[in-house]
Amino acid sequence: MGARTGHRGARALIDKGFAELGVRRVWAQTMAVKTASRRVMEKAGLRYIRTFHAHFDDPLPGTEHGEVEYELRLADWAARRADQADPAADGSR
């Protein structure tokens, strides 16, 4: 999967989880310094929730900046899909 398509795969999995599997919340975490991973989460529709610091016995470089958590809840996902399906939602009328 190329750098420009990671969010598409994530969106497909998120859609399947909410639409077919009864998922109520999708969450993801990564190192705060992993900006590319964070961007994929954002482009997939997840929103930043928090930065936290976990203990690791053998930490990787960058661990000192913490971990970040992102989420997307079912109600927010459904609202976005409704907005995308409604041509008036973008103000084009």
pLDDT at 74 over 70: yes
Domain spans of the chain, in order of start: 6-90
Residue pLDDT, tens place only, 46-69: 999 999 999 999 999 999 999 999
Topology of the domain covering 6-90: Aminopeptidase (3.40.630)
Give dist(CA 90, CA 46) in Å, integer. 20
Average pLDDT over residues 61-89: 91
89 or 45, which is more confident: 45
Identify the pLDDT of residue 85: 85
Identify the pLDDT of residue 91: 59
